[in-house]
Structure 1
Amino acid sequence: MKRANTISFSIEIGLRFIGMWPDSAYPNFYWFSYMTTVAIVQYYQYTYIFVHFDLNDLWLLMDCLSLTLGYSLAFLKLLVLWWNRRVFYYILKAIDEDWSEYVINDSYKSTMVSMADLSRRFANVSFSIYAFSAFFLSIGEHLLQSMDDQFGNSSRELPIKMEFPFDVSKSPIFECFLIGQFLYDLVIASVVNLINALLVALILHVSGQIDIMQQDLFEISNKKYDHSTFLPVIKNLICKHQKIITLSESIENLYTYIALMQVLWNTLVMCCTGFVIIIVVSSGEDTTNLIKSVSYYFAIMLEVFVYCFAGEFLSAKSKSISNSAYEALWYNMPPSDSRIILFMILRCQKRLTITAGRFMDLTLEGFTSIVKASVSYISVLNAMY
C-alpha cells in the first residue's frame, strides 16, 4: 500500500535522523550528536584554510573554500529549521488534516495521491543525484587520483581538505579517514537534499489543495444556480482558500531565512567552484579536480534552482485560483452572491510566494540574477589570478 501523505517515507526517515520529526525517539540526542559532529569537522576544515591561506595560491584557496562554505550552509540551515520547529509541526498537522479530509471526500483522492507520488519521485531522484555527487567528492576523487598516478607516488591527500595535528597519510589511518569522509559527505548531502525535498513536498501539497479548490469552483460554474446550496459551498471555498493562505505563510516563515542564506551563500560557492573549473580547464590538466568541481557546481546550481522554481510554481498556482473564479458563472448570480466571488478574485491578486529574507521573491528571474552575479564574481577572480 502506498504511503498516504505528501511527505514521502524517505523524507520522514531523514527528519527522524536529525531529530526533527514530531514524537520521534530521543530527538534532542540525535540533533545535538549530529550538529556536534558537523561542528568538529568544520573546525578542521577551517583550520586547513587558515594554515594554508595564501593569496598567491588562489586556486587551492577557492577549492577548499567552496566545499567548506557548502557544509557551513548546511549547518546554518539546520539551525534555522530547528529554531522554527514549532512552525514545522503546525505545517505537518495541517497536512494530516487535509489527508483526513481526503478520506471523507473521495473526490479529492486522485489529486492528492498524484501530488504525493510527485513528492516521492522527486525525493528519490534528488537523493540519488546528491549521493552520486558525494561519491565523486570523496571516494570517486581518490580512485581517479590513484588511476592517474602511474608510478605509485601518490601524495595521499584526503579529498576533503582538513588539518589534523597528526599524520593521516599512513595506512590504515588514511583508509579509515577516507571512508569516514565519504560517510560524512554522504550524510551532509542527504541532509541538504532533505531540506530541499521537504520544501518541494510542502509546495506540492499546497498545489494539490489549490487544484481541489479549482475543482470545486468548476463544479459551481457547471451546476444550475441554487441560492440555498450556493452559500454553504462558497463558505466552504472561502475557508479552504484561507487555509491555503495560512499554510503558504507558514511555509514562508519556515523557509524565508533558509532561502536567504541559500541565495547569498550559494552565490559565493558557485563563484569559488566556477573559478576552480576555469583554472583547471585553462591548465588542461588534473581531470580529477575537473570532474569533482563540475559535479559539485551542478549540484549547487540545482539546489538554487529548486528553491527558485518552487517559489515560481507557488506563485503561478495562486494566480490560477483567480482565473478559475473568474470563469465561474458569477454574472448569472444575484449581485449579493456574485459579489462574494468578486471579493475572492480580488484577494487572489496578492499572489502566494516564497521569499529570501522577505525582500526578494524566489522566481526563475531571480535564479538568472544569481547565476549572473556568480559569473561576474568569477570574472573578477580570474582577472586577479
Structure 2
Amino acid sequence: MDDIDLAVLNVLETMLMTSTYLGFLVVAKRSNELKNVIISMRKEIADQNLTENVEEKRLYFSYNNISCNISKYMSLASLFTVTLMYARPFVDLLVAFDPGNSSTMPYHLPFRAHIIFDYNSPRLYTLVYVYQFPLMYVPLLHVAEVGLIVNLTLHLCAKLSILVYRIRNIRIDSTKSFKDGIKQTVLMHLELKDNSSRIVCRKIVFYRYSETLNNNFNMMLLIELVSCGVRLGLSLYLVLIKLDVDKIATINFIIHTFVVGSFLYLYSYVGEQVVYESQQLSDAFYDIRWSDIEGNERKALIMCMMNGQKTMHITAGKFYTFSLFGFTEIVKSSMACFSMLRAGM
C-alpha cells in the first residue's frame, strides 16, 4: 500500500477478475431463464416468418450486423490485450538475460498473485508462469458476457424496428384490413413484452422480454457500470505513468482503456436504442390516418397508442438507465478519478 502505482495496478486486475467471476454467478443463477431466451431468439432467427419483405430484412440485419461485428472485434481486441499482458514479463526476461548470474533476472509474473514459496529460480518461475496461462481466458469470457447482453438487447431492438415498420404500413382501405393489421401488430407487441418460455409444473411461465433482460442482467450491469467506470480512470493513470518507462505496458494499457471505454459505450448505445425504438411505437400509431377509420377502430388505436407510450429501458440495478447522456456522465466521473490519482503523483 505504500506504492500507489502497484496499488492501482492491483486494484485494476482485481476489479477485472472480480466483476467477471460475479458475472459468472449471475449467469449461473439465471441459467434456466437465459437458456429459454436464447433458444427463443435462435428459433426466431431460423424462422422464415420473422421478416415478410426486403425492407424488414434490412431493418433486422442492420442490428444483426452490429451484434456480429461487436462480438468479433471485441474478442480480437481482448485477446490481443491479454496476450500482450501475458508475454510482457517473458520479453523483459529475454532483454535482461544474463547467463552468468540468474539471481539478477526480473522474475515478474504476468498476473499479480500471492505465491507462498520463493519462485526466483528458472525452473520454479517457468512452472508458475505456465500455471497462470489459463487466466488468459478470463477476459475472453468477460467479452462473452458482454456479447450475450448486447446480442439479446439488439435482437429486441431489431424486432421493435420491424414492428414500427408494420404499424406505419397498416392498410386502412377497409375495416377488415385495418382490423387484421391492428391484430397482427398487437400480437407482435405482446410477444415482445410477454414471451412464453416453457411448461414448468404444468403451468405455462410467461415473462416480459424486456423485463426478462433487466431481471437477469441488472445486477451484472450494475457490477459492470461500477467496475468499468473505475477501471477507465485507473487505466488512464497507468498509461500516464508507464509512458516513459515501459512502451509495451503503455500500449497494453492504451488498448485496455479503449476496450473498457467501448464496453461502457456499448451498454449506453444499446440502452439508447431500446428507448428510441420503443418510443417510435407511439409515434407510428399517431402517424396512422385515424380520420379515415371508423369510431370503434379509433378506440382500439387509442389503446394501442397508450400502451406504446410505455418506454422500455435497460437498467443497472433497476435504478440507473443506460443512455448516451449517461455515458458522458460516467466518463466525467472516470476523469475525476484520473485527476485525483494524477494529483497524488
- Give the TM-score of the pair, scaled to structure 2: 0.85
Structure 2 CA distance for aligned equivalents of residues 115 and 297 of structure 1: 26
Structure 2 CA distance for aligned equivalents of residues 120 and 177 of structure 1: 37
Equivalent in the alignment of 2:17: 71
Equivalent in the alignment of 1:365: 325
Structure 2 CA distance for aligned equivalents of residues 375 and 148 of structure 1: 35
Give the AA of the match of 1:211. S
Structure 2 CA distance for aligned equivalents of residues 247 and 82 of structure 1: 19
Maintained 8 Å contact 1:134/1:182 = no
Equivalent in the alignment of 1:46: none
2:121 aligned to 146, 167, 170, which one? Answer: 170
Are positions 1:158 and 2:109 aligned together? yes
1:334 aligned to 261, 274, 294, which one? Answer: 294
Alignment of 1:5-16 (within 5 A): none
Give the AA of the match of 1:227. T
Residues matched between the structures, number: 325
Q: State the shift of 1:70 in Å.
A: 0.6
Structure 2 CA distance for aligned equivalents of residues 150 and 169 of structure 1: 14
Give the AA of the match of 1:142. P
Give the AA of the match of 1:177. V
- Give the TM-score of the pair, scaled to structure 1: 0.77
Are positions 1:346 and 2:306 aligned together? yes
- Identity rate, percent: 18
Q: Which runs of 5+ in 1 are unaligned?
A: 1-53
Structure 1 CA distance for aligned equivalents of residues 156 and 308 of structure 2: 15
Structure 1 or 2: more strand by fraction: 2
Structure 2 CA distance for aligned equivalents of residues 70 and 237 of structure 1: 43
Provide the alpha-carbon RMSD of the alignment: 2.4
Maintained 8 Å contact 2:172/2:178 = no
CA distance 1:271–1:230, shift in 2 (3 Å) = same
Structure 1 or 2: more helix by fraction: 1
Q: State the shift of 1:258 in Å.
A: 0.8
Q: State the shift of 1:238 in Å.
A: 1.1
Equivalent in the alignment of 2:151: 201
CA distance 1:150–1:352, shift in 2 (3 Å) = same
Equivalent in the alignment of 2:132: 181
Are positions 1:276 and 2:238 aligned together? yes
Structure 2 CA distance for aligned equivalents of residues 217 and 148 of structure 1: 66
Are positions 1:60 and 2:6 aligned together? yes
Q: State the shift of 1:176 in Å.
A: 4.1
Equivalent in the alignment of 1:235: 183
Are positions 1:290 and 2:250 aligned together? yes
**The 10-residue stretch of structure 1 (318-327 or 304-313) with the greater mean CA deviation from structure 2:** 318-327
Structure 2 CA distance for aligned equivalents of residues 161 and 104 of structure 1: 49
Structure 2 CA distance for aligned equivalents of residues 70 and 257 of structure 1: 16
Give the AA of the match of 1:189. P
Q: The residue matched to 2:209 in structure 1 has which SS?
A: helix
CA distance 1:352–1:269, shift in 2 (3 Å) = same
Structure 2 CA distance for aligned equivalents of residues 340 and 148 of structure 1: 76
CA distance 1:230–1:97, shift in 2 (3 Å) = farther
2:274 aligned to 314, 330, 333, which one? Answer: 314
Q: State the shift of 1:125 in Å.
A: 1.7
CA distance 1:151–1:294, shift in 2 (3 Å) = farther
Are positions 1:376 and 2:336 aligned together? yes
CA distance 1:148–1:294, shift in 2 (3 Å) = farther
Are positions 1:136 and 2:84 aligned together? yes
Structure 2 CA distance for aligned equivalents of residues 102 and 252 of structure 1: 28
Q: State the shift of 1:130 in Å.
A: 1.0
Q: Which runs of 5+ in 2 are unaligned?
A: 194-207
Are positions 1:257 and 2:200 aligned together? no
Structure 2 CA distance for aligned equivalents of residues 353 and 158 of structure 1: 43
Are positions 1:215 and 2:175 aligned together? no
Give the AA of the match of 1:279. I
CA offset digits 1:236-279 (Å, max 9, x no partner): 21121122232111111111111111111222222332322233
Structure 1 CA distance for aligned equivalents of residues 222 and 51 of structure 2: 39
Structure 1 CA distance for aligned equivalents of residues 266 and 131 of structure 2: 29
Q: State the shift of 1:84 in Å.
A: 1.6
